[in-house]
């Protein structure tokens, strides 16, 4: 569900993870079907205002079942939409164990680099067509920000060059300073999970890794249509 681009304006980004109460699966089939249909109708009401990309985590993590990646120019739309989703017959059985808020911002480290498909220079996120996305909140140590810009740039040059070795992996970095508990939310889209695994292993050996304070929890998600995603819930 795409929203119209507004050139020069930064976007709000939200990753909401939902868990279904097992009691929902014991409801009569017609009640479960009605709940899913209501949920879809609410999401469709925001077409053109909120970009929504659904993912399933059923069978992958035990603490959440699906994720909605939402992108909008208005923060209040996330709240309005969430309130209506939770008021549906399905929503009454949902909890939100994780939700991350961030914004787009031009990276200060990428001026000397070009990497086709990466979003570091964009204020507008263009979600790809990849089957998988890997999402996690990210916090650097305070010592990182006390280094000189030149010192940080050198380490980020190494970091970026490692990323260039894996063109099948598309990075979306968004910023949470002052908006949420983390400093960044990173989302890697790919059709090749094995490439992402190898990329992360290489990044662990980079100098900048010494300044990572927290990069968990990590969510491995499979993209589906909204209808397909709801069907994975087991009801």
How confident is the chain (235 residues) per 10-residue block, as mean pLDDT? 68 98 96 98 96 97 97 97 98 98 89 49 76 98 96 95 96 97 98 98 96 98 97 90
205 and 226 share one domain: no
Domain span at 42: 12-103+222-231
Supply 122's token pair.
Answer: 């964009």
Q: 113 in a domain, yes or no? A: no
77 and 94 share one domain: yes
Q: 94 in a domain, yes or no? A: yes
Place of tokens 């979306």: 172
Q: What is the CATH number of the domain that holds 149?
A: 3.30.70.1030
Is residue 187 within 8 Å of residue 104, measured between CB atoms? no
Is residue 201 within 8 Å of residue 135, measured between CB atoms? no
Residue 129: the pLDDT is 79
The CA-to-CA distance between both ends of the chain, in Å, stands at 24
146 and 181 share one domain: yes
Distance CA 13, CA 7 (A): 16
78 and 152 share one domain: no
Q: 46 in a domain, yes or no? A: yes
Residue 3: the pLDDT is 61
Residue 118: the pLDDT is 46
Distance CA 143, CA 44 (A): 45
Q: 204 in a domain, yes or no? A: yes
């Amino acid at each position: 569900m795409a929203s119209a681009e507004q050139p020069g304006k930064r976007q709000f980004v939200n990753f909401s993870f939902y868990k279904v109460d097992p009691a929902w699966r014991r409801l009569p089939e017609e009640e479960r079907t009605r709940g899913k249909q209501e949920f879809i109708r609410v999401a469709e009401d925001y077409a053109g205002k909120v970009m929504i990309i659904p993912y399933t985590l059923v069978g992958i993590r035990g603490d959440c079942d699906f994720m909605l990646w939402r992108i909008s120019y208005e923060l209040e739309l996330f709240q309005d939409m969430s309130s209506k989703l939770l008021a549906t017959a399905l929503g009454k059985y949902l909890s939100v164990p994780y939700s991350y808020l961030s914004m787009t911002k031009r990276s200060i480290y990428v001026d000397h680099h070009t990497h086709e498909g990466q979003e570091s220079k964009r204020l507008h996120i263009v979600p790809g067509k990849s089957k998988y996305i890997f999402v996690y909140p990210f916090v650097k140590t305070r010592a990182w920000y006390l280094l000189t810009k030149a010192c940080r740039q050198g380490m980020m040059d190494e970091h970026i060059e490692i990323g260039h070795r894996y063109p099948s992996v598309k990075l979306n970095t968004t910023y949470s300073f002052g908006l949420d508990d983390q400093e960044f939310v990173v989302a890697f889209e790919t059709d090749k999970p094995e490439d992402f695994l190898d990329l992360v292993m290489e990044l662990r050996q980079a100098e900048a890794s010494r300044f990572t304070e927290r990069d968990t929890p990590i969510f491995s998600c499979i993209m589906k249509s909204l209808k397909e995603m709801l069907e994975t819930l087991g009801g």
